[in-house]
Amino acid sequence: MSAIAAMLAPSREVWVRAALADVDTLLVDHAHCERKAAQTALAMVAKHPTWAALVGPLSRLAREELIHFERVLRELRHRGGRLRALPAAGYAAALQDAARATREPAGGADLRRAQLRDEMLVCALIEARSHERFVRLAAATDDARLAKLYRDLLAAEERHGDLYLGLAREAYEGDVTARLRALAAEEARVIARPGQAVRMHAGG
């Protein structure tokens, strides 16, 4: 188990059941998650073009996410569904807000290092949560084809989480374990916010 996975609160059984009760919506949301993961990675490349350890790996990550996006689209079509707009759950934005609100007070270079560290840790947690939920869905569904989809994708998401964690460590030039633990606690609160529709990263 990766360092991030060990810190994630397990998804609740009630979420797993609700997600599998509406596979069409779950897949539409999942497709958007893969697309957004590619966009986020490319936005990082645009923002940090001179960071050698980031540019190549995140370009590859973006390509991989688009392959995932197309795989989920095929699965959706196979089931008679199609891509449509879905209101965003606001999960990533809420995580970034939580990171900002809980960041240690600092100025100058220390603040920039802490911001960059948190930016990478938030991405690491999102990827790790995808991995955790794919594992849960693969185990819980009695649809062999759906289970295979999640099993085929989950290892990549774990790797992506570790990649972002490595970038957080490089950015911070120090130990990020305590901060990862604090942000994992925020993530557990954000993902279980009441009153949200069931999504890959919301609703339980």
Cα–Cα distances in Å, from 117 out to 63, 100, 106, 188?
Answer: 23, 11, 13, 19
For position 157 contacting Fe ion by CB under 5 A, the verdict is: yes
C-beta of residue 157 within 8 angstroms of C-beta of residue 4: no
Residue with tokens 């991030």: 4
C-beta of residue 51 within 8 angstroms of C-beta of residue 79: no
At 51, list the tokens.
């960071």
Residues contacting Fe ion: total by CB under 5 A: 7
**Least separation in angstroms between CB 149 and Fe ion:** 11
Pick the closer one to Fe ion by CB: 68 or 133.
Answer: 68
Q: Which of 4, 19, 26, 37 lies at the binding interface for Fe ion (CB under 5 A)?
A: 37
Q: Which of 127, 132, 158, 162 lies at the binding interface for Fe ion (CB under 5 A)?
A: 127
Q: With H, G, I as helix, E, B as strand and everything else as coil, classify residue 165.
A: helix
Residue closest to 91 by CA, chosen among 122, 117, 136, 47: 122
**Least separation in angstroms between CB 160 and Fe ion:** 4
For position 4 contacting Fe ion by CB under 5 A, the verdict is: no
For position 68 contacting Fe ion by CB under 5 A, the verdict is: yes
For position 158 contacting Fe ion by CB under 5 A, the verdict is: no
Pick the closer one to Fe ion by CB: 133 or 160.
Answer: 160
Cα–Cα distances in Å, from 182 out to 76, 120, 132?
Answer: 36, 14, 18
From 34-42, 84-92, 99-107, 108-116, give the range in contact with Fe ion by CB under 5 A.
Answer: 34-42
**Residue numbers of the site for Fe ion (CB under 5 A)?**
34, 37, 65, 68, 127, 157, 160
